[in-house]
Amino acid sequence: MTTNYLAFCEAALPWMVETIEALVRLESPTGDKDAVNACGRQVARLMQESGCTVRVLPGETAGDHLLAEYGSGRRQVLLLGHIDTVWPVGELERRPLRRESDRLFGPGVFDMKAGIVLAILAVRALQASSTGFPGRVVLLLTSDEETGSATSRRIIEDVARSSEAVLVLEPPLPGGALKTARKGCGEFHMRVTGKPAHAGIEPERGVSAIRELARQILAIEALQDPASGTTLSVGIVRGGTRGNVIPAEAEAIVDVRAATLEAAERVTQAMRALRPQIPGAALSVTGGIDRPPFERTPAVEALFRQAQAVAATLERTLGEGSTGGGSDGNLTAALNVPTLDGLGAVGAGAHGFDEHVEISELPWRAALVAGLVERILARAN
């Protein structure tokens, strides 16, 4: 049956490329609600044309989320992706869509407009098969993944809890390998308050918030364990008002990554336990890890083996690996729902000026998703 999916998807390649280009032209940066919703409306039309019921779930501070349901039955598979990108409106004018040989370049094409089209085509391939859907498929596309999924997290978790498995259409690792582990990630905001004074006349009366922050940064460095995947990076530092004033305020934003839930909890507790080191200084630490680690559990491994088996029927070899970046797959994996990430288009350059997808690789990736959905639902039933 998987070979039939491949033939269907290969025949649809011109449609895939045309549709990907149309979505890339609808720029959809996370913070621009109108732009995200304009792209979302086009995606909703595409899903409706593929024969499903689409629900628009309003985002509170972000764009709307889309939930499409195909097939019927008690058992379901969740296909998960996002509409938003990191590129501002106007980036397409500076860096237009272009094709070079087998590559399609454009802002947002790899992360993840192509993944959206792959998911829709996979569902179409399932619908066109002689057996039809062996269960139910839910396609959830969110609007705020690139900024942490604050408005979509509850929706993602609710749908995932009712699913046999979650297949995430994010970009794969180089060469098309799937992601069977991701680090947990988040941000801590550190704020220090001191006391101002004239830096030349009576510096001893002041309490330097910057000096206190510098000591805290050294303490943060000591929490790292790169060998086990735990890293803390102070990415933004602000403080002071003038060069001749002892600074009364300073702040830092700390990026945190951890490969295991145990490590994430250790870092969180240590950050919360930090105390001022200079008399008279005050310290507050807020924030935390908002995407828990996606660990490679036996259930994740079993799901990956199923994907490998489907790929073999397509005469493809499928690899796996881990990454330090987070996705909405972190949220579903933390619920112990079998999750497989990186099922999107083969390419490179996510969030970069060379972002692109490999055109000839598109059909088999869509066929892989269709075949994997069929296999999961058949086993579930």
Averaged pLDDT, 66-78: 93
Q: Which tokens in the block code for residue 133?
A: 């859907």
Q: Are 355 and 110 in contact (CB under 8 A)?
A: yes
Q: What is the pLDDT of residues 81-117, one digit of tens each?
A: 999 999 999 999 999 999 999 999 999 999 999 999 9
Taking the C-alpha atoms of residue 271 and residue 27, their distance in angstroms, rounded to an integer, is: 38
pLDDT exceeds cutoff 90 at 61: no
Residue 209: DSSP 8-state? H
Q: Are 84 and 29 in contact (CB under 8 A)?
A: yes
- State the pLDDT confidence band at 1, using cuts at 50, 70 and 90: low
Taking the C-alpha atoms of residue 22 and residue 143, their distance in angstroms, rounded to an integer, is: 18
Whether the predicted model's global pTM rises above the 0.85 cut: yes
Query: Could you write out the three-class secondary structure of 170-193?
Result: CCCCHHHCEEEEECEEEEEEEEEE
**Structure confidence at residue 3 (pLDDT):** 73
End-to-end CA distance of the chain: 18
**Structure confidence at residue 381 (pLDDT):** 60
Q: What is the pLDDT of residues 230-277, one digit of tens each?
A: 999 999 999 999 999 999 999 999 999 999 999 999 999 999 999 999
Q: What are phi and psi of 360, to 5 degrees?
A: -70, -15
pLDDT exceeds cutoff 90 at 375: yes
Cα–Cα distance list, 356 to 16, 24, 95, 334 (Å): 15, 11, 12, 30
Buried b (16+ CB within 10 A) or exposed e, 308-338: bebbebbebebebebbebbbbbbbbbbeebb
Q: Are 247 and 234 in contact (CB under 8 A)?
A: no
Mean pLDDT of the chain: 96
**Structure confidence at residue 277 (pLDDT):** 98
pLDDT exceeds cutoff 80 at 207: yes
Q: Are 148 and 256 in contact (CB under 8 A)?
A: no
Question: Regarding beta strands 136-142 and 65-71, do their DSSP bridges make them parallel or antiparallel, or are they unpaired?
Answer: antiparallel
Domains identified in the chain and CATH numbers:
2-183+294-380 (3.40.630.10), 184-291 (3.30.70.360)
Q: Go through the chain and tell me how many residues it has.
A: 381
Q: What is the pLDDT of residues 120-177, one digit of tens each?
A: 999 999 999 877 677 899 999 999 999 999 999 999 999 999 999 999 999 999 999 9
Averaged pLDDT, 367-375: 97
Whether the bond into 112 is cis, omega within 30 of 0: yes
- State the pLDDT confidence band at 59, using cuts at 50, 70 and 90: confident
**Structure confidence at residue 332 (pLDDT):** 98
